[in-house]
Amino acid sequence: MPTSTKKRSRTRRAGESAYGLLLLGRNALVALVAALLLVAGCWTSWDDARHAMFPKDGTRGTMTVEKCADGRCTGPFVADSGGSAPDRVGIGESAVRDVGDRPAVALKPGTEDVVRTGIGGVLHTWIPLGGALVLAALVLAGGLRLRRTGWVMGLLGGAVMAGAFFTV
């Protein structure tokens, strides 16, 4: 039995190519949005995280929280090693438990701001990346239909945020 090899018209082949190109463009755009979210999360987190993670960048010490107002807590700072350090420093209110708390902190060079060190401090500084992972997971699962990858990214982002909540 002979088989017919009927060719599609040029118009139909061009239309199929254009549709494929549109799908490819849409997928590239969605992937670009997800990548932009992740880069923004890393960029936002890195400024504080590098001081919390790497001891050579700044002066380490202990801060005693005396008062908290307008999302910022202040108190005296005692450096672990001798050196020039301000007497009073400030930290974000979400990084400490309560007045009287004595967290281990690292001083940001050239400022009177400190970031919390240790596991809790590192997780706290990476919260923006955790949020970006959750948002990028939604974009990947919904826009690119990468459901398993979306679930993994979302759970990792949620674990970072939950870990920061429970260790502070």
Task: Copy the structure tokens of residue 22.
Answer: 């549109």
Q: What is the mean pLDDT of residues 76-94?
A: 85
Query: The domain that contains 61 carries what CATH number?
Result: 2.40.50
Answer whether residue 141 is part of any domain: no
Residue range of the domain that includes 66 = 55-116
Which pTM was predicted?
0.81
Predicted confidence (pLDDT) at residue 81 exceeds the cutoff of 90: no
In a domain, 89, yes or no: yes
Is residue 116 exposed (0-12), middle (13-18) or buried (19+ Cβ within 10 Å)?
A: buried
Question: Does a structural domain hold residue 79?
Answer: yes
The answer, yes or no, to whether residue 147 has pLDDT greater than 90, is yes
54 — phi, psi (to 5°)?
Answer: -110, 115
- The reply to whether 71 falls in a domain is yes
In a domain, 131, yes or no: no
pLDDT in tens, 4-54: 677 877 777 767 787 878 888 888 999 999 999 999 999 999 988 998 898
Q: How large is the average pLDDT for residues 82-97?
A: 85
Instruction: Give domain status of residue 18, yes or no.
Output: no
Q: Is the pLDDT of residue 136 over 80?
A: yes
Domain count, the chain: 1
Q: Is residue 41 part of a domain?
A: no
Residue 56 DSSP one-character state: G
Residue 70 forms part of a structural domain: yes
Q: How many Å apart are CA 13 and CA 17, to the nearest integer?
A: 6
Could you read off the pLDDT of 98-118 as tens digits, one per residue? 888 899 999 888 888 999 998
